[in-house]
Structure 1
Amino acid sequence: MRRKFDLTFTALQIPLDLFALLAAAGGAYSLRFSETLRDIRPILTEIPFRDYMATAVLFSFVWILFFAIAGLYSTTPRRAWPELGRIFLAGTAGAMMLIATVFFQREFETSRFIVIAVWLFSIAFVWFERLIVRVIRHALLRAGIGHKLVVIIGRGRAAEQLTALYKQHPIFGYTVTRHFNGWNASVRKDLERLIRKGKVDECLLADPDMPKKDALELIHFAESHHITFKYLADLFAAAFSNIEVSADGGVPIIKVRRTPLEGWGRIFKRLFDILVSFALLIILSPLLLVIALLIKLTSEGPVFFSRLPGGNKVMRIGENGKPFHYFKFRTMKKDAHKYHLDPEFMKTYGSHREGPLMKIKDDPRVTNLGRFLRSWSLDELPELFLVLKGDMSLVGPRPHLPEEVSLYKPEQRRVLDIKPGITGMAQISGRADLDFDDEVSLDAWYIENWSPAKDLYILLKTPFVVLQRKGAY
């Protein structure tokens, strides 16, 4: 059912995109030859509408070809913002083709406005058309139409979370038929009965610790019954998904790439950090001055949290485990840091989540102004200076204290592969509400799958998450 559902929407994309492109061409023509623009810029050469639309049909198919090259007709749904980026790039490529044609035909005076209008309209119209399709598709999924029927096998928190996630969020397009704790002969018979009734499309192994013998038997079972098999990779397995294969003297060698942030990726990210942080510091400078003044007027102590009670610099652990001098707006009472990891203090107030990080809800050390700054993440704005300096990045794992990092498990140190960031996957996925293991998993996925588009998506989503004030302490 779900395969037909996805294929139907994929097949509809081409005619709908074609319709949107022709509407964009028609809109550009109507705008250029409207009475208002005629008065502003007279028409030197009339273009018959029939001839114009015949050319538009031809170029619309060229546009569709660029859309296909950009991967806009994949059966796997994409998020809205990355899709907009692909539409922009493909639409721009199509416009360049149109400009080249206009150049060789030497129709500069009659075509320049229409070319620009067609370019902008094509992006806007296709984007709007796809938003409508997205809304319809999501409405159908919420109604349970087009769902894949999945059986989850495995015990533990991950399996329970997936089961609850698919039940609470039908927009993901999965209905959990059954959840089995393990794999044995009894489960095999139950699964065969469900398959005969047509109630299984996929089998998802959500237990990375399942014995290899049982896991292989489950894979063979899925293959023999022609159902899709998926599995939940653990953190160690995820580290080996990004590999390069080379051959030295005919001997194949596999290199595990820590992150795509190498070579030009690293150069691009650094240039992006410099330009954006510099621009934001200029734009936000009045706000920074106001916050600094309010901190000084409302509580005793320095404006910035940059030194410990003994006078030592506040340090955070950065890329490759190297410490750097960290600072942000002070949100706590003077000398509050002496309570950090204090056994008596922890016994009284405790920590609200598992892991090496100390996170206290309703922390008594925080000032009233500091509570406001934290809830809106305004205390972290000075980190833009650290981005400009090069100790941090706009997007990445959060920087942690040396004593916290010393408690990391070996696999959790993966988050130190890149520069820490002001925002990141964890910040847009739950902020302080996340357990540390979940935070590490999200950051590890980001490190493994970094791209400029992901950075842009995270940066654009961050303000909306901050406005919701979810998981802020």
Structure 2
Amino acid sequence: MKKAALLFTVALVPVDFIMLFFAGISAYFLRTSALVSQYRPVLFYLNLPLEKYIIILLSFIPFCMAMFALIGLYRSRRGDIIQEFFQVVAAASFAMMAIIIYIFITREWFDSRFIVIAAWALTIGYVFLGRMVLRVVERYCAVRYQFGVKRALIIGDDEVSDILKREIGRNPSLRYRVVKQIAALDLEGIKQAIENPGIDAVIVGRADYGKEAIVELAEFCRDRHLTFRFAPTLFQALTTNVEVDVVGGIPLIEVKHTALDGWGRVIKRIMDCVGAAAGLITLSPLFAATAILVKLDSQGPVFVALDRITLGKKFSMYKFRSMVDRAHEMKEQLAEFNERNDGGPLFKMHNDPRVTRIGKALRRTRIDELPQLFNVLKGEMSLVGPRPHEPEEVGQYERHHKKLLVVKAGMTGMAQISGSSNLPFEEEVKLDTYYIENWSLFLDIKILLRTVMLVLRDRSAC
């Protein structure tokens, strides 16, 4: 998902909160207005002044928004206007029914049925209005500034491909702009087409291309973080990592590379920021003590910045120095002693002569990796994810290994808690691939807890 689409999805939360608040306040003032009170005198406000009513209202709003989420109003891919309207009606109705039952049973606060009914109607109107305004703003930004619009390459020269191109051109709400159309599924030609105009999405219109060619193209797009969509030969249930849209009567399937998209990415980023900030504050005395020990043990800097790859891009990963200064220059000389004999790209050597005395203790307890909390805070890494590898190691990846690059590298992960020091590289890839395809907040928490347990048991560093 492009950042623009994610931004407007996240914006739904404050917009709904504001609209729900105004709906509740409007219902209160409508009930106390002369227009309504002339038919039925206002009595409840003596026991429920506006200040107390606002407190009650603010306690109800999170419940209503939770109901909105259950109905699907915060999905990253929103439906059409009519569908969204009925979702708002359903969510508001379920929420108000629950509130009515609670109020009528307890009668703790007030017995004004008018406010509840008015709040229900105004909630539907206000929330839908707020969402329509957000749609207008999103559409304006897309049309005027191309904000959130994906530049698409259409592959195919048949009728389906032409329909897709026409529908995308006349419907800006699809958030695509066709910049090129090619007839053949030729990977070399596609590579050139992608690099020249700058493509964000690849759409295959023809359904008669071979399965192997489609799979190869999908993996090519995955490696370059491009959206990949195709028109299938049959509309059928595929894997769980797909989303389906209909454009001009043609079903388009978008392959999702990971569950870490949309709200998953937002939730994970919040957890990363909170966890990294809390960790840096809590562990600051340990940082200071470790820095002193590293400096006293051997010559060289306290921290090292190592080149690693995440999301297909190079970044500097921070660690406490656990080796002699300029240890990377000795790696080629030690290549023949690499103890990994699984044919993978990784280098592993027990009793590495480059490791310092204090470095052995830091590695055993994984304290040397704590500065990566700065990488997490900067958004370069995540608390949980695949192990970050060196550029030279990534250069030796086979095609199926590249799926590890579709998410941020992590301080710990499935492979690390499974003893990745002794695992064959292919097994490590399988574990990390499982994590990518089956991510959940619960899985992240489970991995973090197991990591802490492993460190406390003084197991060897991963």
* TM-score in terms of structure 2 length: 0.48
